[in-house]
Amino acid sequence: MSHYAEQATMLGKDVPIPHHPDEALLDAVPNPQAGTLFLARFTCPEFTSLCPVTGQPDFGHLVIDYAPDQALVESKSLKLFLTSFRNHGAFHEDCTVNIGKRIVEAVKPLWLRIGGYWYPRGGIPIDVFWQTGPVPEGLWLPDQGVPTYRGRG
């Protein structure tokens, strides 16, 4: 077993999808490049949650950029965490900011930003952006690459 798998609670194991985001754990693994400024990006183009009022599904495209410090987000735990929102009722703003804050709590990055690009609800797309503070000097920060919603035309 690798050094990383020993520190992760889900890596290499059969783990059920958490029923609620509050039950989901985010694993941190040691950053083998600690001390080097770099950006890691997670993209979730098919994120789903539920409208807290109607119970109807909401769909979003999430882009999570972070500059790790001593720890990395273990991707399997992140996938399970994001999937736990599937049956969770919350507004777009709450989902997006909650995800960013939970990652910060778990791995304490140097910097993090999350873009939540949500598909229309009631005819209005809602995009939500949150970051922990100014971008660290010298960090290469590419555009998130998600165009604004244009419908079919």
2 has pLDDT over 80: no
The pLDDT assigned to 10 comes to 78
- Pairing relationship of beta strands 28-30 and 71-73 according to DSSP bridges: antiparallel
With CA atoms as reference, report the closest residue to 2 among 77, 62, 65, 74. 74
The token pair that represents 8 in the structure block: 């992760």
Answer whether 0.85 is exceeded by the pTM: yes
The token pair that represents 149 in the structure block: 């919603």
CATH dotted code for 16-131 = 3.30.1130.10
Q: Which residues are catalytic?
A: 51, 58
67-122 per-position pLDDT tens digit? 999 999 999 999 999 999 999 999 999 999 999 999 999 999 999 999 999 999 88
Could you tell me which residue, 10 or 119, shows the higher pLDDT?
119
1 has pLDDT over 50: no
Cβ–Cβ < 8 Å for 39, 78: no
Each domain of the chain, given as residue ranges in start order, spans 16-131
